[in-house]
Amino acid sequence: MSYLTLEKNADAEYTVNRSRFISHASPAASAEEANAFVAKIRSEYPDATHNVFAFVVRSPEYSRFSDDGEPSGTSGKPVLDVIKNNLLTDSVIVVTRYFGGVLLGTGGLVRAYSHSASIAVEAAGIVKMSLCSEMEFKCPYNMYEKLSKLVPLGSGVITDTVFTDSVTVCFSIPREHEEDMVRTLADQSFGAVKAVKTGERYGKFPV
């Protein structure tokens, strides 16, 4: 129910033996999104010597990589390995290379592409996506402060608060903590408050 992915789009740059490597990382929810990102980078760097890429998506489970003219196994696979070694999915990395005139050799290429992919992941950041229950509860004003503080303590995030004749608190919480939160709110309100589920979605949490 939970998975790791890149937090945001990010670029990073690395130079070795005059070859310039510009790495681009992005979350991508589907193979179509990943391929579109690859096409975008290729259009932005049409004069590059190579635009190597790799991606992994979750639904349906699928991965792909391309050496884009580099010797087989020296570029696309190392980039894919960085994605997989970080346990990432729904993620794409493109490494753009401008050849500097000095051959790096097979080992040098593997190290350069692996490093470029790694610094792109570092720049983009990693987040945990967890299937969350969307919940809400209503309470009188004199219970609001006490009960609302319980939500973050139980791994939830308050998403909205509506003040009328009573207070409605909307929050999102990882599904595995849903029952505990319902029980805690009921216990702390002496049975006066019952949290109800209104939906589900994937929520973003720091790793």
Written as tens digits, the pLDDT of the chain (207 aa) is 789 999 999 999 999 999 999 999 999 999 999 999 999 999 999 999 999 999 999 989 999 999 999 999 999 999 999 999 999 999 999 999 999 999 999 999 999 999 999 999 999 999 999 899 999 999 999 999 999 999 999 999 999 999 999 999 999 999 999 999 999 999 999 999 999 999 999 988 878
CATH code for the domain defined by 2-124: 3.30.230.30
Give the model's pLDDT for residue 100. 93
Can you say whether the dihedral through the CA atoms of 146, 151, 152, 154 is positive or negative? positive
Cα–Cα dist 184/194, whole Å: 10
Nearest residue to 49 (alpha-carbon basis) of 17, 19, 10, 12: 19
Q: With beta carbons less than 8 A apart as the criterion, state whether 97 and 48 touch.
A: yes
| Cα–Cα distance measured from residue 139 to residue 193, given in angstroms and rounded to the nearest whole number | 6
Instruction: Identify the helix (H) or strand (E) that includes residue 175.
Output: none
Residue intervals of the chain classified under CATH 3.30.70.240 are 131-206
pLDDT for res 206: 79
- Residue ranges, CATH 3.30.230.30, the chain: 2-124
pLDDT at residue number 207: 83
pLDDT at position 199, please?
Answer: 96
* pLDDT for residue 205: 81
- For residue 86, what pLDDT is reported? 98
- Domain 131-206, CATH class in plain words: alpha beta
